[in-house]
Structure 1
Amino acid sequence: MTSTAQRGCPHLAGSADPVHVLGPDFVQDPFPVLEQLRAEGPVHLVRLPSGAERWLITRYDDVVAALGDPRLSNELARGVQQNLPPEPLPPRAQVTLRTTRILGRAMANLDPPDHDRLRKLIVRSFSAKRVEDLRPRVQRSTEALFDAVADATEFDLVEAVADRLPITVICELLGVPTDDADLFRTAASVVGGYMADDEAALRTVAALEAFDVYVRDLIAARRAAPQPDLISDLVTAEGDGQPLTEDELVSMVGIVLFGGYEPSAQLIGNALLALLQHSDQLAALRADPTLLPAAVEEALRYDGPVTPGLSRYALEDVEIGGTTIPKGSYVMVGTAAANRDPEHWPDPGTFDITRPATARSLGFGHGLHYCVGARLAALEVETVIATALRRYPRLRLAVPAEDLVYRQGSVRGVREIPLRVG
């Protein structure tokens, strides 16, 4: 649900625009609210379920333009210090500060030229050829995860597969020992989730601290004895003739982890769930497996994991559709709303894996900051779906779809997806 409140918002440059409050049930089905806001106008001031207030951009053309607008900076840390409350910092503010310090020097959180310098060091690790070379490893890992529940007539897709495959692949790429994967999984999970209370926030701070210490130790080990892994490649790499600083290395490892784990894990669940909820589409895919890449692309458009969108920081006043977003504001570039814009997709609320390509989904971003791991994420989702459909001819939900609960957070996904296979 959304309601409207009228009040000023100091960290949004004193704006007195009406605030659309996105209630706690927004995450269960955000699309009716996003449809309403998109129909009413291209830009709205909203209060997220977390309590944070953002300017939300809702229409496809405006979202595409915003993702390429240099006035809307990826360097979110620019506004962190001025918006922090006085010391001693409450737990949620500690999370914000700690996350910024760990990820602040990652390419995804930088503007050119720093972004370009760092991106070119890692983009080759996710090239089409390198990702395709990973296909056998991804398939083996997927089979092993399904093997672990082979005797069960029911199991939770999230716990058994979706939460485990991406972290396994990312840790292999980085060179993180299998025994330490849970530390990385915990760190990634807490950053993508929503902190319901101070206790949860303090657990998040502790997880981030442990991650930071571990990665710095791993970097030191790779400096002393490089291995055939991504961390070693980054340690020995030079951007424009200069080696990466330790803070840049930690941030790069962090963004590979957080970007490669949470969105992939949630997209696995969202994609398979969409198929199970639309029996005609599932039957079409079973009849023609070549539709699988299109099915993943449609799932990314229909119910992508990043909801409501990608965060930016306004370096100056930005006017969109007659509304001025003030300098110093945080902005949510609404990719989820844009992906269902009827100006670009006919009947956008329908899940259709044979949909003509009338526009490009923005689920992995757009332009300069398009996700470098998009191919790998798609490969993981395709592999899980193909393997599940091959192994389980009678695959179905074990509970009514309306009983599924979505977790709060910047990356939207279902907490549990119980499947019945017998």
Structure 2
Amino acid sequence: MDNNFSSKEAGLFTHAFNQNPYPAFHSLQQHDPLHQALMPDGHYAWIVTRYEDAVAVLKDTRFIKDFTVFLNEEERAEAQKNIFSQNMLFADPPDHKRLRGLVQQAFTPKMIEELRGRITEIANELINDMQGRSQIDIIDDFAFPLPIIVICEMLGVPSEDRDKFRTWSNTLVEASNDPGKAEKIQQHTEEFTAYLRDWIAIRREQPKDDMVSKLIQAEEAGDRLSEQELYGVVSLLIIAGHETTVNLVANGLFALMTHPEQMRKLQQQPELIRPAIEEMLRFEGPVEFSTDRWAAETLELQGKTINKGDHVLVALDAANRDPEAFEDPDVFDITRGQSKHLAFGKGIHFCLGAPLARVEAEVAVNTLLERFPGLQLDTASTDLEWRPGILMRGLTELPVRLT
């Protein structure tokens, strides 16, 4: 382990880091860009902070996603019981290609673009519900319900069950950073699994024109998803299909409200929405760290030895503020132009839901600013709290005044 620059010196994983990780990321980029850090759960992981190294790791097949290869047979069988383990996010080739291929058939960019009209309807319905109110919480009243309604409609989840999915999803996303919630995590996992089991059984008998029915029926070279793989894929789509978009919309609106000249520019030129969304993704990306990778063999990176089995995390939000890759990286500029940000990852695990997240964010931001042109924060930006955990970067609430 490299002890030249400690995690404590870097200021990692403190409350201050959670509130604003960028000073710590810049410090690491200068002093120890490939840093072996003590994680909140007590184990060590390599933290990759520079853009160039991040791209290299995300594209290098020697960094694998399926950690069960390091386990014995009994441990592997136990780990694979987890409903979230059997999906493309935690798979390596050839399984990854097969799983992604099966999902892609029910999740094409053309299909997503056709949803734009319905997404606009949902955004306007949510805004209509705000009429007559002077203050709302952007997250509870807008950024959360929009993508959960969209993904639940796509999958075929009954509208009355959407709040259950929010509860389960929040618990599971924050689980990685709070071992103290083991009992709650177990309970919610069991509830979620039981729900999926019953729902998939009904859809097998009574298929409809929804994504779950299509996933059940989907085949790739004569292969179908197993029951466990169906659980994994559906849970991934529900969690990834709304958690990241909640943060993208809320973080993006927060960036606009704390940079009023940029908000005015977007209101005056709504056609800038696409570059604006790309800058939001770069400036305050919804996923702070990539999901886990492990070194499949001992290798050298930036003059350091990463041993076989070592845990590796790419700090996506650090890479997106790397001064070597972006001019004035801490400046929020919606006219920055073509962006090579890593908010959706890189390589074979590039986010399948990126087209959906982009369309939802474009519609959400432009519609809200059009309907409430005087939108402004209803508290000091420094009083806002960011959610705990290292995977997602998002606010717990975002109170605003509607004018």
* TM-score normalised by structure 1 residue count: 0.89
User: Which is further off, 196-205 or 411-420?
Assistant: 196-205
Match of 1:178 in 2: 159
Match of 1:133 in 2: 114
User: Once the 2 structures are TM-superposed, how far is the Cα of residue 199 of structure 1 from its aligned partner?
Assistant: 5.9
Select 2:350's aligned residue among 370, 386, 389.
Answer: 370
Distance 1:215 1:62 in 2: 39
Match of 1:20 in 2: 7
**Structure-2 change in CA distance of 1:333 and 1:195 (3 Å):** closer
RMSD over equivalenced CA pairs, Å: 2.0
Aligned partner letter, 1:35: H
User: Once the 2 structures are TM-superposed, how far is the Cα of residue 173 of structure 1 from its aligned partner?
Assistant: 0.9
User: Once the 2 structures are TM-superposed, how far is the Cα of residue 129 of structure 1 from its aligned partner?
Assistant: 1.4
Match of 2:379 in 1: 399
Match of 1:72 in 2: 63
* 1:59/1:341 contact within 8 Å kept: yes
**Structure-2 change in CA distance of 1:77 and 1:98 (3 Å):** closer
* Matched ranges for 1:21-420 at <5 A: 21=8, 22=12, 23-49=14-40, 51-78=42-69, 101-193=82-174, 200-357=181-338, 359-409=339-389, 410-420=391-401
Distance 2:240 2:283 in 1: 20
User: Which is further off, 195-204 or 172-181?
Assistant: 195-204
Q: Secondary structure at the match of 1:25?
A: helix
Aligned partner letter, 2:45: R
Distance 2:64 2:87 in 1: 14
Distance 1:52 1:30 in 2: 20
Distance 2:22 2:42 in 1: 19
Aligned partner letter, 2:21: P
Distance 1:197 1:56 in 2: 19
* 1:128/1:375 contact within 8 Å kept: yes
Distance 2:153 2:199 in 1: 14
User: Once the 2 structures are TM-superposed, how far is the Cα of residue 16 of structure 1 from its aligned partner?
Assistant: 5.9
**Structure-2 change in CA distance of 1:153 and 1:100 (3 Å):** farther
Distance 1:248 1:408 in 2: 29
**Structure-2 change in CA distance of 1:196 and 1:131 (3 Å):** closer
Q: Secondary structure at the match of 1:44?
A: strand
Q: Secondary structure at the match of 1:242?
A: coil
Q: Secondary structure at the match of 1:125?
A: coil
**Structure-2 change in CA distance of 1:16 and 1:365 (3 Å):** closer
Aligned partner letter, 1:108: L
User: Once the 2 structures are TM-superposed, how far is the Cα of residue 48 of structure 1 from its aligned partner?
Assistant: 3.7
For residues 358-385 of structure 1, give each alpha carbon's deviation from its aligned partner in whole angstroms, at most 9, with x where no partner exists.
Answer: x511000112111010010111111111
Distance 1:360 1:38 in 2: 18
Distance 2:98 2:90 in 1: 13
Distance 2:80 2:163 in 1: 19
**Structure-2 change in CA distance of 1:390 and 1:123 (3 Å):** same
Distance 1:51 1:126 in 2: 38
Aligned partner letter, 2:17: F
Distance 1:261 1:267 in 2: 10
Distance 1:287 1:100 in 2: 52
Distance 2:383 2:65 in 1: 37
Aligned partner letter, 2:233: M
Distance 1:77 1:167 in 2: 31
Aligned residues: 394
Distance 2:356 2:261 in 1: 27
For residues 44-77 of structure 1, give each alpha carbon's deviation from its aligned partner in whole angstroms, at most 9, with x where no partner exists.
Answer: 0113445553110111111111011111111144
Distance 2:176 2:234 in 1: 23
Distance 1:207 1:165 in 2: 23
* 1:309/1:336 contact within 8 Å kept: no
Distance 1:201 1:222 in 2: 31
Distance 1:50 1:271 in 2: 30
Aligned partner letter, 2:160: D
User: Once the 2 structures are TM-superposed, how far is the Cα of residue 153 of structure 1 from its aligned partner?
Assistant: 0.1
Q: Unaligned regions of 5+ residues in structure 2, if any?
A: none
For residues 101-144 of structure 1, give each alpha carbon's deviation from its aligned partner in whole angstroms, at most 9, with x where no partner exists.
Answer: 11111011100111101111222433221111101111111112
Match of 1:11 in 2: none
**Structure-2 change in CA distance of 1:153 and 1:349 (3 Å):** same
Distance 1:99 1:27 in 2: 31
Aligned partner letter, 2:263: L
Q: Unaligned regions of 5+ residues in structure 1, if any?
A: 1-14, 85-96
For residues 276-310 of structure 1, give each alpha carbon's deviation from its aligned partner in whole angstroms, at most 9, with x where no partner exists.
Answer: 00011111101110111111100100110111333
